[in-house]
Structure 1
């Protein structure tokens, strides 16, 4: 009876984690189809289904499914586990949290169907129709209510730094989502695109980044068996993210139809983001001092440290791309999807992988099924990501210089596309490796869950 009660405590976390795994594999399958269309444009173009399987409809399904199905649900499951641990109490309103999981799954299904049928707002990362946006906002408010109530009822007086990051994320996300999604019909032209990119950039920076960094600060001391290097440094990182990140949207419209002062205003905070990034990395490396040898034998720690390094690379690329010169070359090229995959998959999905590998044994009372599958998951994901990113970055630079020289239209454009085929093949191979790696990940977790249920049934039958 005691075990059953303990299991019930973690039910919201389990439902969010298990649901996120479904969206991970389905979303990446859509991404794999997209990469194959670069080398085989007529792939899946047959019969009446070709309308629904065209690139323009598959792509937003892929991005929304992974952003809001996989990574957001993984983050919410992590919040429902970590916040009570840091507060030394139980999650407030667990039944409401379970209901939120079912509603969120409904949103992902309904949004994917709507996009497949061609109903879209065309907003980057916010293509879902208006009525679904209302449901999402209500869901986010419910999430914030549950988490803040849990924190308010805490038995631990001190607020660990992860809670600062989580609370900031939950304060920023509702306003960010409302600004980016609800008033799009009220604006047009340049103001509309400024709003779009305020949302498109900050949904990464003020949700995935802040939750991800908070999870790094929670997991790293446990996995490395070292105390956090500097609580003060982590708060400096938090407040500089809160101060500078929100102003980065205009750099996505660099060299575009916006005032020059606004272009400059987008560059300065982009460069200043190096401050919170270095704060995070200094803390990570300081915490790992004397424990680097553990990384070789601890796969969750390997994911966490690698995710931190990918986060560093992402935030070094960002200021570089915000400058007018580099932006004039790489903008609209294949460099952009390569850069976009680095934070979402390389940085914060790696943190989510580490979180699941750490949390699942604790909530199922069962060790991970296979260490070898964990290692395979890590290396295939990393090799696939590096192939994907370096091929897209290289192709993007070639494309940018070719367009500057006049290959942006006509026969020269076709010749350039033919010349890019080797890079598209490498991109597809990288995508296949990333996809297969997640199959191993899900098999490993599924076997772990099955073993847990068998053990529980055996204990109940012998009791």
Structure 2
């Protein structure tokens, strides 16, 4: 690609909206982590917050999970989209004014009232869907606005020129808009096992059709942008894309193995889970081969987060495929193993991808503050906290499953779990809290225009050219 074509592939990026959603992501991240730390300590000290209704364990836990998914990840993904979509499509986003409304709606009509209502005792007893119906309505409106904001730029050119990150972004925006009402609204009106099937659909689609596609869009974008080399195989990237969107919607019922939901649905979900593990191996192999030469610990902080996310994605997906099998599920279901698995997915894979995408975009905002040392410290603290938590909770889950199968009194498993909960609360949770505080400091202090923003005109345009290389033919024609 010539310099002229590369430059034309990079229209105006709305850096104010990147920055606004980035700050919102960091603030909601710290609040969500605080809720998680409180919940971890309450398992050890049940009287913590006693007499204060809004500090009851269930409400705090709901605030933690919804805050991570919609507050932290939602805002971080939106920040990345404002950076990447213009570069990938060669066109600006639909409207700056629409972007301001989307920012206000996402944070002040979804997150803020959602937290207030949940802490006040108004919620839904649905996993990953705890915000009440009134908030769900605003989420659907926000998803429609996001689709209007980010999809039209991709359709101004032929689909044959779309890079794989573009496909993942399109898939996430379309399928999340379809699956969110089914998992968050339909169970309120469908009773019994049928309602549970709808809920299970969203439990997995929240991760599989919202979080995973946007995280993979970041991975496939940042790797060639930083290494300045094309991805290893476009064929493998598209094979992984179609397999993911075909298999993930079939997985939800594996959360209800041995339930009253028809066994045919359970076996379909178990089979799809195993096939999804094969899909992830294909995707990760393509990503790892695309990073060849960058080293196991890349110097670029955004790429370092992305590299870690890639390996966590492989581990958590193989673990998920394994624990969906009946022989394993009967031992680990309802144990702390599942909690460790969830953190490996939403923190290890998704949050590291979101952090990598946010850092990459942040570096290219000329006026944004940037503190590389704080980001580096935050990275290692979060890695240490995550590894400690996952190993600790995995061991706790195996112990709990063994005790439950033995017929021992429930109280014995609670007492035996206490040492593991001490490690989680006093070790892993505090490491994670310190790490994310350092990450917050890294993006809010330091020199303005630090990092790669100082050479944005040179390296930034060149890197964008590698990401958008498949757009070159059409750009040549319209030049």
Q: TM-score, normalised by structure 1?
A: 0.91
Q: Is the 1:333–1:399 contact (alpha carbons within 8 Å) kept by the matching residues of 2?
A: yes
In the alignment, the residues of structure 1 paired with residue 264 and residue 283 of structure 2 have an alpha-carbon distance, to the nearest angstrom, of 30
1:152 positional shift:
2.6
Which residue is 2:436 aligned to?
438
Structure 2 residue 176 is the aligned partner of structure 1 residue 173: yes
1:364 positional shift:
3.0
In the alignment, the residues of structure 1 paired with residue 158 and residue 241 of structure 2 have an alpha-carbon distance, to the nearest angstrom, of 24
Choose from 392, 413, 416 the match for 1:416: 413
1:3-402 pair list within 5 angstroms? 9-45=14-50, 47=51, 49=52, 51-106=53-108, 107-153=110-156, 158-292=161-295, 295-365=297-367, 368-370=370-372, 372-402=373-403
In the alignment, the residues of structure 2 paired with residue 445 and residue 226 of structure 1 have an alpha-carbon distance, to the nearest angstrom, of 27
In the alignment, the residues of structure 2 paired with residue 156 and residue 182 of structure 1 have an alpha-carbon distance, to the nearest angstrom, of 33
In the alignment, the residues of structure 1 paired with residue 224 and residue 94 of structure 2 have an alpha-carbon distance, to the nearest angstrom, of 26
Which residue is 2:474 aligned to?
none
1:352 positional shift:
1.2
In the alignment, the residues of structure 2 paired with residue 75 and residue 449 of structure 1 have an alpha-carbon distance, to the nearest angstrom, of 25
Which residue is 1:460 aligned to?
none
Structure 2, gaps ≥5 residues long = 1-10, 455-479
The CA RMSD over aligned residues, in Å, is 2.0
Structure 1, gaps ≥5 residues long = 1-5, 457-463
In the alignment, the residues of structure 1 paired with residue 301 and residue 410 of structure 2 have an alpha-carbon distance, to the nearest angstrom, of 45
1:366 positional shift:
5.6
In the alignment, the residues of structure 2 paired with residue 31 and residue 132 of structure 1 have an alpha-carbon distance, to the nearest angstrom, of 22
Q: Is the 2:366–2:449 contact (alpha carbons within 8 Å) kept by the matching residues of 1?
A: no
Which residue is 2:445 aligned to?
447
SS at match of 1:91: coil
In the alignment, the residues of structure 1 paired with residue 433 and residue 15 of structure 2 have an alpha-carbon distance, to the nearest angstrom, of 28
Q: Is the 1:88–1:155 contact (alpha carbons within 8 Å) kept by the matching residues of 2?
A: no
In the alignment, the residues of structure 2 paired with residue 333 and residue 132 of structure 1 have an alpha-carbon distance, to the nearest angstrom, of 30
In the alignment, the residues of structure 1 paired with residue 272 and residue 13 of structure 2 have an alpha-carbon distance, to the nearest angstrom, of 45
1:200 positional shift:
0.8
Which residue is 1:459 aligned to?
none
Show CA shifts across 1:33-66 (max 9, x none): 0111121111122x4x2x2111011111110011
SS at match of 2:231: coil
Q: Is the 2:200–2:253 contact (alpha carbons within 8 Å) kept by the matching residues of 1?
A: yes
The aligned length equals 440
Show CA shifts across 1:365-386 (max 9, x none): 567323x222211111011001
Alpha-carbon spacing, 1:273–1:451, altered in 2? closer, same or farther (3 Å): closer
Which residue is 2:458 aligned to?
none
In the alignment, the residues of structure 2 paired with residue 229 and residue 199 of structure 1 have an alpha-carbon distance, to the nearest angstrom, of 32
SS at match of 1:52: helix
Q: TM-score, normalised by structure 2?
A: 0.88
